[in-house]
Amino acid sequence: MLIHVVRSGDTLWQIASRYNVNINSIIEINGLQFPNQLVIGQSLIIPVSGTTHVIKSGETLWSIAQKYGVTTNSIIQANQLTNPNLLYPGTKLIIPPLTYVVQSGDTLSIIARRFGTTVQAIVRENHIQDPNLIHVGTHLIIPRPKPTIEVNAYTYQGSEQAAANSINEVGRHLTYLSPFAYMIKEDGTLEPFPDRLAISAAYANNVVPMMSITNFTSTSLGSNLANKILASRELSEKVLTNAIKVMDEKGYRGLNVDFENVLPEDRENYNRFMQMAVDRLHPKGYFVSSALAPKTSATQSGLLYTAHDYAAHGRIADFVVLMTYEWGYRLGPPQAISPINQMRRVIQYAASVMPPEKIFLGFQIYARDWVLPHVKGQSARTFGVQEAVRLAVTHNATIHYDEATQSPHFRYVDNEGKEHEVWFEDARSAQAKFDLVKEFNLRGVSYWALGYAYPQNWALLEDNFNVKKLI
């Protein structure tokens, strides 16, 4: 797939003609609500075979062509390059698809083995009706091999049915589902919440349900609660006993521990709790994971960070979810919610103290709208990516893209004359995050949270990866 950024004067008809694709296919894959009203800076996924490559320092056209198995001439033609010897780092090139002409004696299985792909992938890419019938001389597009990852998604939707609907909609893209969350009480019991429909929908979509326990709410930091539980071996055991009971009864396959705002002095107690969880759950065939604040070094201090021991959790847990979002906090000033430059720093540190195959990159799929000028403590409005695009179209706002954070943003003036600043996600920012996953060979992606429409993300996820299914 390719990503097109709308320029002044662009129409959907012109864009479709340029890439030789059907207009409706662009509308559908992007979930366009206003196909006749595009705004400058809006990113669109173009459903064509091929990909893009960002030129790195020292690369040549020949080395890039070799990497993708295509000819230099095909890259020159696809990009209309006038001087192929003049490549600038950071420039994006369109890489045409890999093609193959069917020879006598070929079968799809032979072709698939030759190129390291699957028959199903070739069939899907070329819309083949009968896989057993291919004709000599047919030009086939060969899908490039994709890494296989695991994908988790949290859901905290208010309606149990809404959560089930979300899972049914995107469940084919998920490995795990984490309904959020069972609140721990001071006596070691757990506050229940309606999750049966979500669990049922997970199983219907071959998604592993993962139980989430936490110590905090939107109105309570939970530091003292965590201290009470973690400092007491008896209460820690009671929490785990109650968690196991829920898992056994409801069909959860694993546990996700999300203790936040843990007091610095409880760091070793938290590590002990994680080891206790593994010792209790592994014999029953359950896995254990944790959600960790986005640290960039072992010495990073503060209520969010000190007690989150990356090295220990990486050693003890089966995997960890890095909460690489919320730089653009709802009560803070407007900025990118998930800036790629900060996410990279977190991943670099995490990968230095734990195996990358244990790391999930946290990925937020919502937008925020701040009223300007920002007043300390004033809360931004949180909503879906599609709503952000609707706002931009409604107010004819130009969408800008911050290269450092790889995040789109825009400003508009509401009906009361108040200025707003919106930061959100689009196709470009999603692709940047997927590139980070591939660069560091991470285990996968963890979404916070279902319930926000973001069709571009799911299309690009499928284009970049094979999603592992465990059931």
Residue entry with tokens 């979500």: 198
Cβ neighbours of residue 463 closer than 8 Å, sequence gap 6 or more: 1
Residue numbers annotated as active site: 260
The two structure tokens encoding residue 311: 């090295």
Cβ count near 115 (within 10 Å) = 17
Report how far residue 308's alpha carbon sits from residue 361's, in angstroms, rounded to the nearest whole number.
16
Phi and psi at residue 176, to the nearest 5°: -125, 155
Report how far residue 47's alpha carbon sits from residue 455's, in angstroms, rounded to the nearest whole number.
13
Handedness of CA 171, 174, 176, 180 (dihedral sign): negative
- Contact assessment for residue 281 and residue 255, using Cβ atoms and an 8 Å cutoff: yes
- Contact assessment for residue 457 and residue 365, using Cβ atoms and an 8 Å cutoff: yes
